[in-house]
């Protein structure tokens, strides 16, 4: 299967959705504006970071109170956008490689990291490209709010898992394909609250946890979850929850 290349995309790769690449490229300069179009991600980030840190501490038996608890470990951030996760991961000691199909996103991320004095290996690329090049493998692979934007989520997730080291940890975050998610994450977030631009998500591309498990059924990995995440409008904060009907995360480990 082939696709027309986006002007911001690297060499064509069949898990990429050119329309989504173009959509995020158009607003790339706003990644680090906490009141801009990515404001919801800035609010969401503390919850995501806490989960990643908690899971990595347990998996690699690290001291959570250390200054750089994950020093010596490698991390790949797939679909890194402007680097909202890549930068805190680098501060925690990971040697971070971060990729995105949008060259504009990568330029924004690299510029911001340089201003912060952080060394992050940013490049415009896809997971398929890295695998074909023999890159990695990595101790940790992050694919956060990315899989619902690709053309072939099963192939994408399998590719990501093959970039993981034996003993490694992968974390996947996405949206559940439920009527509740349609009402709140699609219609409510895009057209009522205007948290994200209309058209950012396609509800038909949301994925159920059992579908993620099925994608990796033939791979030498184990998947745990879902771990639900919910938003409290009274506090304006996201937190872990037993409710995975809208947002959720899954962990993948390789023996």
Q: Is 100 annotated as a binding residue?
A: yes
The three-class DSSP label of residue 57 is: helix
Q: Rounded to an integer, what distance in angstroms lies between the CA atom of residue 67 and that of residue 91?
A: 9
48 annotated as ligand-binding:
yes
Q: What angle do CA 229, 235, 238 make, to 5 degrees?
A: 15
Q: What token pair was written down for 188? A: 């409510």
Contact 229, 175 (CB under 8 A): no
Alpha-carbon gap, residue 179 to 244, rounded angstroms: 12
CA-to-CA distance for 96 and 163, rounded, in angstroms?
Answer: 14
For the record, the structure tokens of 10 come out as 């690297």
**Is residue 144 annotated as involved in ligand binding?**
yes
Binding residues for S-adenosyl-L-methionine, by number, are 48, 79, 100, 144
Binding residues, by number, are 48, 79, 100, 144
């Amino acid at each position: 299967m082939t696709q027309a290349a986006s002007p911001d995309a690297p060499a064509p790769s069949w898990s990429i959705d050119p329309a989504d690449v173009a959509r995020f490229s158009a607003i790339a300069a706003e990644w680090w504006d906490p009141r801009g179009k990515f404001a919801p991600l800035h609010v969401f980030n503390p919850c995501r970071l806490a989960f990643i840190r908690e899971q990595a501490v347990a998996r690699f038996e690290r001291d959570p109170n250390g200054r750089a608890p994950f020093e010596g470990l490698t991390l790949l951030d797939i679909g890194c956008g402007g680097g909202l996760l890549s930068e805190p991961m680098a501060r925690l000691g990971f040697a971070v490689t971060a990729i995105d199909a949008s060259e504009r996103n990568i330029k924004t991320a690299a510029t911001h990291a340089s201003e912060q004095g952080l060394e992050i290996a940013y490049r415009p690329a896809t997971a398929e490209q890295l695998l074909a090049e023999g890159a990695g493998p990595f101790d940790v692979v992050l694919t956060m709010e990315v899989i619902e934007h690709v053309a072939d989520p099963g192939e994408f997730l399998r590719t990501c898992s093959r970039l993981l080291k034996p003993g490694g940890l992968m974390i996947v975050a996405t949206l559940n394909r439920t009527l509740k998610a349609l009402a709140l994450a699609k219609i409510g977030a895009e057209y009522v609250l205007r948290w994200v631009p209309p058209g950012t998500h396609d509800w038909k591309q949301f994925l159920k946890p059992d579908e993620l498990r099925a994608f990796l059924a033939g791979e030498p990995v184990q998947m745990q979850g879902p771990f639900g995440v919910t938003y409290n409008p009274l506090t304006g904060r996201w937190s872990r929850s037993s409710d995975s009907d809208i947002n959720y995360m899954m962990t993948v480990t390789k023996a």
